[in-house]
Structure 1
Amino acid sequence: MGFWIMILSGVIGLEMLHLGFNKRAQKPLRPVLVGVGIILMAFAIYVATPLGADLILKVAM
């Protein structure tokens, strides 16, 4: 279960970063997208560690 949470949050985080650095995005929205993307990527990295996987299992059960 933690593996899929890591994959999903990583993919969504990358997409948010991509949209944040896109020139067609609205100017006030760019920092928000980049910030959310960085937070999701950090969460995906944390879940990839044994400590993060243990936390996910504790929350899920």
Structure 2
Amino acid sequence: MTRAITFTQAQVRRAVKAAESAGLRVCSVTVNPDGSITVNGSDKPTKTIDTKKTSAAASWDDF
């Protein structure tokens, strides 16, 4: 018979908070079968997807 992994949301939250305070940008969190928590991340800054500046159209003719 297999035993359920026991972990709490607070444990995951603490692991993520510790990684972020160390300067890591958290990408994913994995709870392993042995109950250990792995935080995967990157120290690179977040890539901006849309850098286009949008301005309000002055009239319908501007579209």
Higher relative contact order (CA 8 A, sep 6+): 1
TM-score by length of 1: 0.31
Structure in which a larger fraction of residues adopt helix:
1
TM-score by length of 2: 0.30
Structure in which a larger fraction of residues adopt strand:
2
